[in-house]
Amino acid sequence: DTGVSQNPRHKITKRGQNVTFRCDPISEHNRLYWYRQTLGQGPEFLTYFQNEAQLEKSRLLSDRFSAERPKGSFSTLEIQRTEQGDSAMYLCASRGRRKYEQYFGPGTRLTVT
């Protein structure tokens, strides 16, 4: 499968714990995006990378959130000191050069208890 993959697919954690999600984009795509989606809403932009550079971060991305994309390949999204309000689906997408459409992974569903 050459699509975008995300791991884990589901994560249940207790409030206050740290969690890390991984996204593997389509290999030739240089842009990688993270979105968050809550039930009944559309995805909300969190941050994006062009190669290894993080070029934009949403105001939604508090200082408890950090994202990396070492070597411009896979990306990780870490949430520190999770709160119940962090419960959501975290979606990763990638985009190729000179293209505008984004290809989404299946998402990681986070539940904070």
Q: Contacting other proteins (CB under 8 A), which of 23, 33, 67, 69? A: 33
Strand partners, 56: 48
Strand 75-79: give its sheet, edge to edge: 5-7, 19-24, 75-79, 65-68
Does 105 contact other proteins by CB under 8 A?
Answer: yes
Does 12 contact other proteins by CB under 8 A?
Answer: no
Neighbouring C-beta atoms of residue 81, cutoff 10 Å: 12
Q: Interacting stretch for other proteins, rule CB under 8 A, among 17-25, 30-38, 68-76, 78-86?
A: 30-38
Closest CA to 87 of 107, 113, 59, 62: 113
Does 21 contact other proteins by CB under 8 A?
Answer: no
Does 56 contact other proteins by CB under 8 A?
Answer: yes
Q: Interacting stretch for other proteins, rule CB under 8 A, among 17-25, 66-74, 77-85, 86-94?
A: 86-94
